Amino acid sequence: MSERPLTEDLLSALLDDELDAATRVEVEARLAISADWQATLTELTETRTALRGLGAVDAPDEFWERVLASDDVVVDLAARHGRRHGRGRGHGRRRRVVALAGVAAAAVFAVGVVVFPTSTPDRVRPPVAAFSDAHASRSSVGTDAISTLASVGVSRFGR
């Protein structure tokens, strides 16, 4: 583990409680000495919390109009941002523009999630044990059947 780089995948696995005991100890040790990775872990945790807090939303009747309008706003705000920047407007104003743009982007994202949910690929649970048996079954045709199928007759994963 000492040679394995810390990754967001490992942090995700830590949050999902998917790490074995040894790896967990090592990941936590790496976290203890790295403020950057602690911040990353905090971000991951907050993101997960935020996402899990999202409920299903029915789009209101005027949703499309608002989305279209927000799209215009994005364009207008970006153009306006360039002009204002050129005129030396204040930093607080720019932050508001960026925030509005973020809201608009989130709205576009929401359209993808709420209006077009079918674009999400299906989550598949591969039947690993059944696949193992199917493989042994096919392998036993035309070759020594008993030794090839022995795995079907025992606990495949040793439990």
Partner 1 sequence: MSCFDLTGVRSPGARSPGARPGIAVARWVLGAGIVLGTVVALTLPSGAADPDPVAVITRTRTASSQTTIAGTIEVEWVVDGHPRVERAGARADGSGFVVGRGDRRAVGEDGVRWSADAGESIEWGAAADAPLPAPDAAWDLDLGPSAEVAGRRALVVRARGDDGQVRARFFVDEVTDVLLRRDVLDRDGTVVRSVRFTHVLLAEGTPAVPTPPAPAPPMPADDAPRSFPAPDHLDPGFHLLGRYRHPDGAVQLFYADGLFTLSVFEQEGVVDWSGIPAGGVRGEVDGNRAHTFATASGTVVVWGADGAVLTAVSDAPPDTVAAALESVSASRGFLPRVADFVLGPFGWN
Contacting positions for partner 1 (CB under 8 A): 9, 13, 18, 121-158
Q: Which is nearer to partner 1, 13 or 110 (CB)?
A: 13
Residue 159 CB, nearest approach to partner 1 (Å) = 8
Residue 121 CB, nearest approach to partner 1 (Å) = 5
Residue 128 CB, nearest approach to partner 1 (Å) = 6
End-to-end CA distance of the chain: 27
Contact 59, 115 (CB under 8 A): yes
Residue for token pair 């048996």? 133
Residue 67 CB, nearest approach to partner 1 (Å) = 27
Residue 154 CB, nearest approach to partner 1 (Å) = 3
Buried b (16+ CB within 10 A) or exposed e, 46-81: eeeeeeeeeeeeeeeeebeeebeebeebbeebeeeb
Contact 5, 27 (CB under 8 A): no
Contacts of 45 (CB under 8 A, 6+ apart): 15
Q: Which is nearer to partner 1, 40 or 148 (CB)?
A: 148
Q: Which is nearer to partner 1, 69 or 130 (CB)?
A: 130
Q: Which is nearer to partner 1, 75 or 130 (CB)?
A: 130
Q: Which is nearer to partner 1, 66 or 133 (CB)?
A: 133
How many other C-beta atoms lie within 10 A of the C-beta of residue 25? 12
